[in-house]
Amino acid sequence: MLVARNGWFMVLVLCCCFGVVSGLGAGCSDDDSTGGNNNVQQDAGADAEPDASTEEPLIFLVQEWSTQDGTYVPLADVAVAYDAQSGVRTESTTGTDGLATFDVIDPTLGESAATFYKTGYVALSFVHLTYEKYLDVLVDGKVPVYLSPLTPPQADMVTVTGDATGLVAPATHPLVIFPHRALGTAYSGNGNASYSFTVEQDAPFSIVAIEAEDGYLPSNRGYWVDIHKAMVAEHDPISASSAVYDLDFDMWEITPQTVDGSIILPTRADSPLRGGWGLVFVKSNTSGDDCLTGWAESIERTADGNRFDVSYIWVEPPLLEGVYTYHLVYDTTTNELSMSNPRGYPEGGVLAVPLLDTPEWITPADPLTPHLITETFEWEWFDDVSESSIVLSRNQTSMWYVIGGQNSTSVTIPELPTGITAAQLLGNTSVARVYGGHIDDLGWVQYSQSMTVRVSP
């Protein structure tokens, strides 16, 4: 039972981490899961021709996602620093309309950068930008930019308690409960124990519950999940702060679906993914990060390191939307990782969206020696990527995203706007990592991440 508990803990923790590293989480300024594409550099790569007169001013529209009405709204009091191609820095602050306006400069002079900062939000910089790229992403004459709060707004939650009946072996099999279609927390424990989970107040939700065991395969190159019984139930919104709800597995039992497939690993001999650990899970972008609806019944890396063989198992709540099947492979020593995130439930066969190889640091060469933030960062990609960027973190919290752009292999970090320094933002325990891949309007399709390196502000 100890192995089984460790297995479930591993899966759930990594799912939570995925929300941060993939950009599907609220702390990432590249989060496109809530609608709209906020990646200026990726969009700019689609069309290199200017779409407006160079005599017009450059206007940024800074916005944030509103949890009240599900739209982007203007964000006031954002400090904006614009480093023009000429090397001249100009600063402005957004008003209640979210706008910051700058004079146009000569588009033939080269690359520019823009940095956005507001207390309580993730800082954001765009570098390697040409004036043509700004023009190419104009919406109604403005360049849209989106910031995310460091601490996302918290919804009012309901604590649901109860008991499960109709289990196969409640004394020995773990019971795991996942609320869906509303933010919530998963529950994992012995099947004969009373359970408690939380779910968003005043929102309808689905419950996926499984009686299952899991563990590591004898090869130590993968794990298994044995689902003895599964159920799906729909629940009306709860307006109170607590509720009692018992789960009857006999009444709501559902037969999971299964299919076999494989994940092809990068061919580069030095790729950390070839000796890595694999995870597969299915979830919805309308549910909590640790609330799943599918798993790998088994997943095992072949002895030659060329692929993972996967047996998927999942259930499909009737009203669930925005489903993804996540394939994650990571190095257990360095935490380098790569993910492929096709939309929908598992399809089987060879994974159609291949894993990207992980980027490799060039400068700094030693990840343990602090790298001055004023010195250029350099790395190498082994695949083409539409976004290549750096995230700077403090105490495991993403503090600053520096968007490098398509196939970028170097970044010089801009200065923050007047009144805030890198030392104030990052402290003395900050780290940096390269991330990138391909995204669409819903989020990451492919994502890869380097190991972290220490940063000295």
Handedness of CA 180, 344, 273, 223 (dihedral sign): positive
Q: Is the residue at 7 inside a domain? A: no
329 neighbors 337 (Cβ within 8 angstroms):
yes
Same domain, residue pair 360 and 374:
yes
Q: Cis bond leading into 153, ω under 30°?
A: no
- Please choose, from the candidates 265, 268, 221, the residue with its C-alpha nearest in 3D space to the C-alpha of residue 354: 265
Half-sphere exposure of 334 (CA within 13 A, CB side): 23
Which residues fall within 8 angstroms of residue 190, CB to CB, at 6 or more apart?
170, 171, 174, 175
Structural domain contains residue 17: no
pLDDT for position 58: 86
Looking at residue 11, its pLDDT comes to 40
Q: Are residues 248 and 378 in the same domain?
A: no
Same domain for 203 and 287: yes
* pLDDT over 50 at 7, yes or no: no
At 189 the three-state DSSP class reads strand
Output the pTM of the full model: 0.85
Final residue belonging to a domain, choices 350, 381, 402: 350
Clarify whether residues 211 and 323 are in a common domain: yes
242-244 sheet: strands from edge to edge: 195-200, 157-162, 242-244
Between CA 444 and CA 447 the distance in angstroms is 6
pLDDT band at 191 (very low <50, low <70, confident <90, very high): low
Please determine, for residue 170, whether its predicted confidence score (pLDDT) is greater than 60: yes
Does 88 fall in a domain?
Answer: yes
Cβ proximity of 299 and 309 under 8 Å: yes
Domain-embedded: residue 10: no
Give per-residue pLDDT as tens, 295-319.
999 999 999 999 999 999 999 999 9
Last residue of a domain, one of 324, 350, 376: 350
Asked if 162 and 287 sit in the same domain, the reply is yes
User: Are 392 and 323 in the same domain?
Assistant: no
The range of the structural domain enclosing residue 187 comes to 153-350
Question: In this structure, what token pair is assigned to residue 88?
Answer: 């001249």
pLDDT band at residue 105, thresholds of 50, 70 and 90? low
CA distance 167 to 175: 9
Instruction: Examine the domain organization and report whether 227 and 328 are in the same domain.
Output: yes
- Residue 328 near residue 353 (C-beta atoms within 8 A): no
Task: Give the residue with greater pLDDT, 116 vs 86.
Answer: 116
pLDDT of residue 13 exceeding 60 = no
% of the chain beyond a pLDDT of 70: 86
Strand partners, 323: 284
Backbone angles phi, psi at 251, to 5 degrees: -75, -40
Q: Assess whether 207 and 131 both reside in one domain.
A: no
In a domain, 405, yes or no: yes
* Residue 107 included in any domain: yes
SS3 per residue for 63-131: EEECCCCCCEEECCCCEEEEECCCCCEEEEECCCCCEEEECCCCCCCCCEEEEEECCCECEEEEEEECH
Q: Does some domain include residue 8?
A: no
Last residue of a domain, one of 350, 374, 395: 350
CATH number at residue 141: 2.60.40.1120
Angle at 392 between CA 386 and CA 394, to 5 degrees: 150
Strand 89-93 with 79-83, pairing: antiparallel
- Rounded mean pLDDT of 202-219? 95
Give per-residue pLDDT as tens, 377-425.
Answer: 999 999 999 999 999 999 999 999 999 999 999 999 999 999 999 999 9
Count of structural domains within the chain: 2
Enter the tokens of residue 126. Answer: 């765009």
Q: Report whether pLDDT(20) > 60.
A: no
User: What are the backbone angles phi and psi of residue 146, rounded to the nearest 5°?
Assistant: -125, 130
Q: How confident is the model at residue 106 (pLDDT cuts 50, 70, 90)?
A: low
User: Is residue 6 assigned to a domain?
Assistant: no
Say whether both 209 and 276 belong to one domain: yes
Long-range contacts of 62-65, Cβ-Cβ distance < 8 Å, separation of 24 or more: 62/94, 62/98, 62/99, 62/100, 62/116, 62/145, 62/146, 62/147, 63/98, 63/144, 63/145, 63/146, 63/147, 64/121, 64/146, 64/147, 64/148, 64/149, 65/34, 65/146, 65/148
Do residues 96 and 197 both lie within one domain?
no
Please give the pLDDT value at position 4: 33
- The answer to whether 413 touches 377, Cβ cutoff 8 Å, is yes
302 shares a domain with 393: no
Q: How far apart are CA 145 and CA 80, in angstroms?
A: 11
CA–CA gap between residue 418 and residue 200 (Å, rounded):
40
Instruction: State the pLDDT confidence band at 25, using cuts at 50, 70 and 90.
Output: very low
What burial letters (b/e) apply to 28-45, b meaning 16+ CB within 10 Å? Answer: bbbbbbbeebbbbbbebe
Q: What is the pLDDT of residues 278-301, one digit of tens each?
A: 999 999 988 988 899 999 999 999
pLDDT in tens, 226-280: 999 999 999 999 999 999 999 999 999 999 999 999 999 999 999 999 999 999 9
Claim to verify: residue 100 and residue 249 sit in the same structural domain: no
